[in-house]
Amino acid sequence: MLLRGRLRAMGAVALLLLLLLLLVVGFFLSGRDTECERRELGRRGGDPCDLCLLTPRVLSDGLRAAATLDGDPCGSRNLSASSLQPLLPPKCELLHVAIVCAGYNSSRDIITLVKSVLFYRKNPLHLHLVTDAVARNILETLFRTWMVPAVAVSFYDAEALKPLISWVPNKHYSGLYGLMKLVLPSILPLSLARVIVLDTDVTFSSDIAELWTLFARFSDKQVVGLVENQSDWYLGNLWKNHRPWPALGRGFNTGVILMRLDRLRQTGWEEMWKLMARRELLTLMATSLADQDIFNAVIKEHPELVHPLPCVWNVQLSDHTLAERCYLEAADLKVIHWNSPKKLQVKNKHAEFFRNLHLTFLGYDGKLLRRELFGCPNQLPPGAEQLQQALAQLDEEEPCFEFRQQQLTVHRVHLTFLAHEPPPPRAHDVTLVAQLSMDRLQMLEALCRHWPGPMSLALYLTDAEAQQFLHFVETSPVLSARKDVAYHVVYREGPLYPINQLRNVALAQALTPYVFLSDIDFLPAYSLYDSLRASIEQLGSRRKAALVVPAFETLQYRFSFPNSKAELLTLLDAGSLHTFRYHEWPQGHMPTDYPRWREAQAPYRVQWSADYEPYVVVSRDCPRYDPRFVGFGWNKVAHIIELDAQDYELLVLPEAFSIHLPHAPSLDISRFRSSPTYRDCLQALKEEFHQDLSRRYGSAALKYLTALQQSQSRA
Amino acid sequence: MLLRGRLRAMGAVALLLLLLLLLVVGFFLSGRDTECERRELGRRGGDPCDLCLLTPRVLSDGLRAAATLDGDPCGSRNLSASSLQPLLPPKCELLHVAIVCAGYNSSRDIITLVKSVLFYRKNPLHLHLVTDAVARNILETLFRTWMVPAVAVSFYDAEALKPLISWVPNKHYSGLYGLMKLVLPSILPLSLARVIVLDTDVTFSSDIAELWTLFARFSDKQVVGLVENQSDWYLGNLWKNHRPWPALGRGFNTGVILMRLDRLRQTGWEEMWKLMARRELLTLMATSLADQDIFNAVIKEHPELVHPLPCVWNVQLSDHTLAERCYLEAADLKVIHWNSPKKLQVKNKHAEFFRNLHLTFLGYDGKLLRRELFGCPNQLPPGAEQLQQALAQLDEEEPCFEFRQQQLTVHRVHLTFLAHEPPPPRAHDVTLVAQLSMDRLQMLEALCRHWPGPMSLALYLTDAEAQQFLHFVETSPVLSARKDVAYHVVYREGPLYPINQLRNVALAQALTPYVFLSDIDFLPAYSLYDSLRASIEQLGSRRKAALVVPAFETLQYRFSFPNSKAELLTLLDAGSLHTFRYHEWPQGHMPTDYPRWREAQAPYRVQWSADYEPYVVVSRDCPRYDPRFVGFGWNKVAHIIELDAQDYELLVLPEAFSIHLPHAPSLDISRFRSSPTYRDCLQALKEEFHQDLSRRYGSAALKYLTALQQSQSRA
C-alpha cells in the first residue's frame, strides 16, 4: 500500500519532469539563434557533441543530425539518431506533400517515392501534384485504380505555370519544370499553410510525419526548411572559372523543402525571388541548378528565412557527395536523394545499401499499400466502399468464387509506362492492340519488325516484373528505337488472367481512328499495316465494318515468314502452315471461309456463326470486351457476338493475313483442360453473358443462345 | 553572447532533467512490484490512463502497452505507442534469437519471420536454431547462400532433445517440437545469458532491438518475459467440460519469450517445470498447447518469475482473439503472431492489414537484405569477402560483363521447398533431373503423368513467384498427390538464366543411384521409368555408362502421345513427329543414329562427335555441369564432352524415347539470335572451356578442340 503510494508519486514526478524537459528542449531547439544554427548559418558546424558526451544514447535527432558536413557529428562516439524519436504530429493529422512531375520517366519515379512514403506513413496524406498532360494522364489513372485509403490527390496544371517562370533561363536537365517549386506559394490553395515539397528522385526510409514535425522548430521568421547542400558546388572551387550562383557557404539543397506557405505569401516571396533572379541574371546568364540557385541567392541575402534541417532528411547521393559525414548508421537515414544524373548507377561508399533501399520500393507490390489507416477515421477512396461490399457478398465456398473475385478485382493501371510519341492524326490509321504477360516478352521484337505502325499493348505484370520489362526494352535496340508503341502496365492480382480487362485497357488507349484487335502470339504479314490502311480508306469509313484478317498458324519452331499471299498459299499446300487451330477448334475460324479467301480478289462478306472468333479491324469506338471472361476461353467469341449484335458487317480482306507462332499451352488453358470446375465456371459465364445479351438486344439475341445450345449438343 | 550563454545553461539544465527523469522512469518500470505489474499478475489491468491523461502523446511504450485486455489502454484517448521509442541497446550489440524449427512448412515460415526481423534490425544477430534433419538441410544451405552480413547461425539437433520431453503427452499440432522451448536453458551454450525465443509463425513490424531492451526492465527475480494470452482459453469457459491447464487469469502466450537463461539455470528451471508437468499430468492426461501449458502452470505457482511484456509484442491472431483491445493503431504493432491453425485465412477485424504486412515479407526479395550493417564492424559471412573482390575486379565496360557477373552470382537456394518423401533406397532406381522457371509450370502435371518415379527439379524464381508456385501445387490434385518430387527453389538474380547452376542444384539433390538428365520441355515415354530401371539393372552398374534416351519432337500444339516405340515410328513416318531439332540443329543428336535405333533390339554404343548433346542416364556421381555456361547455348554439349573425356560409354537404349513439346523461344535464345555480342560471349566461354579441358585432360582433350574448330569452319 505504502509502496504503491510512493510509486504513484514517483510516476507523477517523472511526468512533470518530462513535460518540463520538453518545454526546455522545445525552446532550445526552436530558438532561431541557437548555438547550432548560428554556426550553421555562418560556417556550418553546430557540433552538438558536448551534448553527446553527456548522453551517449539519448540525443534528439534534431540536435544531433543538424550537425553538418564539417562538424563531426560525434562520429567517433557511440551515438544514434534513432535513439530518440521526435514527437509525432497529432494522431491522424492530415499531411500535405507537393511534387512537380512531368513526363514519362518522372511519372515512374514518383510512384516509387510515393510507395516509400506510404510504407512508413501513419497519417492521412494529401498529395498536390503539379503535372504536365502526360504525367496527369498517367497519375490520375494510377491513383484512381490504386485506391489507397487516406490519400487525397490534387492536380495542378504545369502548363499554366510556365509563363510565371519561362523568363528564367535554366541550364539544368529538369528544364522549366525545375523552376516550378518557386511558384508553389502562389498556386497552392490559400487555405494551405504548410507543405512538404519533394523532388521525384527521393526515397523515404522513415515516417514522413517525423519530417512534418520539424515545422514546429521554425522560429517566427523562418519560412523554408532546407538541408545543406552536400557537395562543394556552391563553394565555386570545383573547376577553373566555375562560377556558381551566390549561396551561404555550401548552400542548401531543394530536393526536400518544408514550406510555410502562409509566411511565404506574407513576406512577398514572389517579388523577392523574382527580384533576386533578375539581379543575378544580369551577370550569370542562366541558372545551372534551376530553382535551387534562386533559393540560395535569396537565402544568402536573407539568412533569417531558412530553417536548416538535419542533413539526414536529404542524404544526397551525387558523385562527389559528402553525405557520409552526415550519417553514422542505417538508423540515421531518413530520406535518400538520388540527385545525380547517374541515379542508381552513382558510385559511393554505401551505394549498394542505398540501392537496396530504393529497389525495395521499386519492386514492392503496391496493392499491399491499400491497407486502411486504422486508428484514424475511415477514409476510403471513391468506389472502394462498394467494392468492399461486393467482395464481402461473395461466397468463398461457391465453386466459381475465384472467377467472381477476379471479375471484381480493380487492378492498378500504369498507362504509357515508357516514353511514347502519339501518332500524327491520320484519317485511316490503325493501331495494333494486344495484351501479354512476362512469358511473351520475346514476341515484342518480332512484332515490331512485322508491324511498323502504332501499337497499344497491355502488359500484365507484378511491380518487380515491370522493372525487368523496362530493362528488357532499354537493352533492345529494336524496341528502344520505337516510340509509337504504347505499353500500359496492368498490375497482377489474383490467380486468373484478366484477359478482357487487359484488352479493354489497350483498346481504350489506342489513338488512331481504327484498331487491329490481335493477340500477342500472332505475327502480321509484313504488308498488313499498309494494306489495312488502304482497305480502310476504301470501305472502312463507309459503314460499320469489322474487317477480318484471316489467321493461320505454323507449328514450326523456326520458319521463314511468307512475304506475300502467294508464298503463304505455297506453304499452306506444303503443309508447313495451317489455318488457325484447324485441328483443335475449327469452328473458331470456319466462317472466314479459307477456300474462298484463296481465290478472293476483293473483300467479301461472311455471316456470323457460333464460336466464331476472327481477328478484326474496327473503328476504335467499337464495343468493349466483356470483362467477365477471365482466364481461358470464349473471351473473343463474346466480343464478336457483340459486334454482330450491333450489326457490324464482317468483311474478309483478300490480301490480309497473320500467323500464329507455336508456344507452350498457357497456365490458364492447362487449368481449363485439367479442371472440370474451371470448365463449369466458364459455362456459367457464357450463360450469364447470354442472359445479358437478350436483356440488351431482346429477341434479336435469341439466335446466339440457340447457336450456343446447338454447338453444345454437338459437343 | 549573453543569449548564447543563457541557452547553453538551459541545454545543460534540460539534460540534467532528462537524466534524472530516466533514472526515475527506469526504476518505475523495472520495479518488479509496480502498480501495473501487480495488477497484471493479479487480474490484469495496469491501466496507465491516469498517465495518458497527463501526457496524451508522450507515454512510454512499456507503460502504455503493458495495459492488458480488460484495461482499456486509453483507447478513447489520443495516444500512440509510437510517440516515444524506448532506448535501444548499445549500438552494434549482438542480439540472440532462438527458434525451434522442424519440417518443410516451418522451414518456409521461419524464412518469412527472419526476413521481417532483418528488414528492421540495426544490430548483429545470432540465430540459434533447434532443427530436425529436414529443416537443418534446408536452412544450412539457405543461410550459406543467403550471405547476410552480421548474422551468425548455430544449429542444435532436435533429435537429441526428444528424450528430454518425449515423456510429456502433447495433443498440440506442433507435436514434440512444441515442447522443446522448455529445455532451451539446458541446451543453449552456458555463455548465453539472454535470448529471445520465437515461434516460426510470428512476423515483426519493428526493430527486434526494441524487444531486447525490455530485458532491462526485469526485476532481479524475473526469469521470463511473456505477453498475456489474448484468448479466453485458460479461463476454461470456452465450452462445457473444457478443462485447460492452470494459469494466472488468461495466462501467457509463449510465441514470444524473453529468457534470462542464466537465471533459469540458477533457479533450477529444469526441475521446476518437470515437477509441475508431472503433477498436472496426474489429472490432465496431456498438454493441449504444448510448452505453453507448462509455462503457465509454473507461473501460476511462481508469479514472481514472469515479467509481463506489452501486448503489442505478441499480437495474437487466433480466431476469437481479443488482440484488438491491445493496439490502437498500426504504429502500435510490434510483432504479429499467426497462432491459429488457419494462419493467414484467420478472420478478424484487421485481418487484411495483418495479411498485407505478412505478404510484404513473404514476397520480399531476400537478396535486398544482404545489405551490410554499416556503422558496426564489418561482419561479412564466409566467402562474401572473396566474392566482393572478384566482383570488384570485373570490368563493367567489358562486352561480356553480364556473363562474368552472372557466373559469380551466388543465388540463394531453398532446397525441398515443399514437403518431400525421399524414395526408398533401391539399387537401380533413377531420378528425373530438370530445371525450369515460372513460364514452364504448366509442364509439371504432364510430366508427373509420364514419369511415376522420383524427380529432382530446380526452379528459378523470385521470392514472390515461389509463393505463386506454392499455390499452384496446392491447387493441383496431380501435383499435391506426389511426394516423391523434390522442388528446389533457386532465387532469381541477374539477367541471364544460370541454367547449369540450376542443373547442378537439382543433380546434387537426387537421392537415387542413377539420374535421368532431362529438360522440362520433354515428356518421357510412359514406360521410360520402368524400362530405364531394367536397363540399368542389365548394364548400368557394370561400368561407366551414359545411357542415351533418343529425343524427338512434335510441332503440334496438342497431339496424342505414342504408347510404344511402334506407335512412335508410325507418327514419325506420318511426319507428325520428328527427331529432335532435325531442322535447326541436326548435329546435336546425329550421333544417336536414329536409323539404327529404328531397328535396334539391344543397346548399342555410339561415338562422341562435335556438338552432341543427348539426354542421358548416368550414375548420380557423374561430373557436374559447367556453371560458366549461363543463358542460352552449349550448356549440355560441354557436359557430354566431360563425360566422354572421362571415358563414359555412350549407349543408346532401343526402347527408350522422350518427346519435346512446342513452346515459344525462350528470352535467352531470342537474345542469342538478336545480339552478336551475346554470340561472341558464348564463343569466348567455349574457348575458355576448352583451355580448361586441355589443362585437365592434356592431349586427350585435343580432339574436342579440333572438332570445335572444324564445326566452326563449317558454320
Paired sense of beta strands B615-619 and B545-549, if any: antiparallel
C-alpha grid cell, residue B158 = 532436435
| pLDDT tens digits for range B676-710 | 888 899 999 999 999 999 999 998 888 898 888 88
Mean pLDDT of B187-193: 97
**Chain mean pLDDT for chain B:** 85
Statement: residue B19 has pLDDT above 60: no
Helix (H) or strand (E) holding A548: strand A545-549
Across the interface, whether the CB atoms of A329 and B374 are under 8 A apart is answered: yes
Compare CB distances from B557 to A31, A55, A555 and report the shortest one's residue: A555
- Identify which of B14, B33, B38 has the shortest CB distance to residue A24: B14
Which three-class secondary structure state does DSSP give residue B361? helix
End-to-end Cα, chain B, rounded Å:
87
Least confident of A194-198, A667-671, B628-632: A667-671
* Maximum mean pLDDT: which of B75-84, B301-310, B539-548, B684-693: B301-310
SS3 state of residue B557: coil
Residue A579 φ/ψ region, left for φ over 0, alpha for ψ in the -120 to 50 degree band, beta for the rest: beta
Q: Please check whether residue A42 is in contact with residue A68, taking contact to mean a CB–CB distance below 8 angstroms.
A: no
For residue A660, the cross-strand partners are A522, A553
Q: For residue B170, what is the DSSP state?
A: B
Q: Which residue has the higher pLDDT, B417 or A20?
A: B417
Which residues, 6 or more positions from A238, have their beta carbon under 8 angstroms from its beta carbon? A232
**Chain A residue with minimal CA distance to B50?**
A12
Residue B583 phi/psi, 5-degree rounding, is: -80, -40
**Which ipTM score applies to this complex?**
0.76
Q: Calculate mean pLDDT across residues A563-573.
A: 96
- Read off the DSSP letter of residue B229: P
Quickly tell me which residue has 532433445 as its cell.
Answer: B161
- pLDDT for res A371: 86
**What is the C-alpha to C-alpha distance for residues A212 and A195, in angstroms, rounded to an integer?**
8
Please state, in angstroms and rounded to a whole number, the distance separating the CA atoms of residues A71 and A326.
Answer: 9
B 21-40 near A (Cβ less than 8 A): 21-22, 24-25, 27-28, 31, 33-35, 38
Q: In the sheet that B604-606 helps form, which strands lie side by side, from edge to edge?
A: B413-414, B485-491, B455-461, B430-437, B514-517, B615-619, B545-549, B649-652, B604-606
Q: A–B: how many Cβ contacts below 8 A?
A: 252
What are the backbone dihedrals phi and psi of residue B154, each rounded to the nearest 5 degrees, phi first? Answer: -120, 145
Q: Which residues 91-130 of chain B have a CB within 8 Å of chain A?
A: 91, 122
Q: Confidence class of residue A46 from pLDDT cuts 50, 70 and 90?
A: very low
For residues A159 and B149, give the distance between their C-alpha atoms in angstroms, rounded to a whole number: 49
The crossing angle, in degrees rounded to 10, of helices A676-697 and A635-645 is 10
pTM of the full structure: 0.82
In DSSP notation, A477-527 reads HHHHH--SEEEEEEE--SSS--HHHHHHHHHHT--SSEEEE--TTEEE-TT
Average pLDDT over residues B139-162: 96
pLDDT tens for residues A371-396? Answer: 888 788 878 888 888 998 898 899 88
N-terminal to C-terminal alpha carbon distance within chain A: 87
Q: How far is CA A210 from CA A111, A215, A596, B346, B605, in A?
A: 21, 10, 73, 34, 75
Å from B608 to nearest chain A CA? 27
- A291 at interface of B, judged by CB pairs closer than 8 A: no
Beta strands in A17-58 (DSSP E): none
Contact A653, A600 (CB under 8 A): no
- Region A241-262: mean pLDDT is 94
B contacts of A91 (beta carbons < 8 Å): 57, 78-80, 329
User: Is the CB of residue A617 less than 8 Å from the CB of residue A515?
Assistant: yes
Beta-carbon separation of B28 and A14 below 8 A? yes
Cell representation of residue B31: 520495479
Mean pLDDT of A125-147: 97
By Cβ distance, the residue of A7, A80, A364 closest to B34 is A7
Amino acid symbol at B563: N
Nearest CA in chain B to A667: B442
Amino acid at B221: K
Cα dihedral: B443, B445, B449, B454 (round 10): 90
B373-402, pLDDT tens digit by residue? Answer: 878 887 888 888 899 889 889 988 888 998
Contact residues, B window 313-332, toward A, CB-based 8 Å cutoff: 328-332
Task: For residue range A284-300, list pLDDT tens digits in order.
Answer: 888 888 899 999 999 99
- Inter-chain CB proximity A15 and B664 less than 8 Å: no
**Facing residue for A352 by CB, picked from B3, B18, B371:** B371
Residue A481 has pLDDT above 90, yes or no: yes
Provide the CA A112 distance to its chain's centre, in angstroms. 8
Gap from B674 CA to chain A (nearest CA, Å): 9
Note which residues in 396-415 of chain A have CB less than 8 A from chain B.
none
Q: Which of A541-555, B17-31, B679-693 is most confident?
A: B679-693
CB B391 within 8 A of CB B494: no
Which percentage of chain B shows pLDDT scores above 90? 62
Among partner residues A19, A25, A556, which is closest to B555 by beta-carbon distance?
A556
DSSP A601: S
* pLDDT tens, residue by residue, B440-474: 998 999 999 999 999 999 999 999 999 999 999 99
Is residue B372 within 8 angstroms of chain A, CB to CB?
Answer: yes
Instruction: Give the least confident one: A299-303, A419-423, B70-74.
Output: B70-74
Least confident of A46-55, B271-280, B410-419: A46-55
Please tell me the predicted confidence (pLDDT) of residue B88: 78
Looking at the DSSP bridge assignments, the partners of residue B491 are B461
Helix axis angle, A463-474 relative to A351-362, nearest 10°? 110
Q: Which of residues 572-611 of A touch B (CB under 8 A)?
A: 575, 583-584
Q: What is the mean pLDDT of residues A446-467?
A: 96
Of A15, A441, A584, the CB nearest to B667: A441
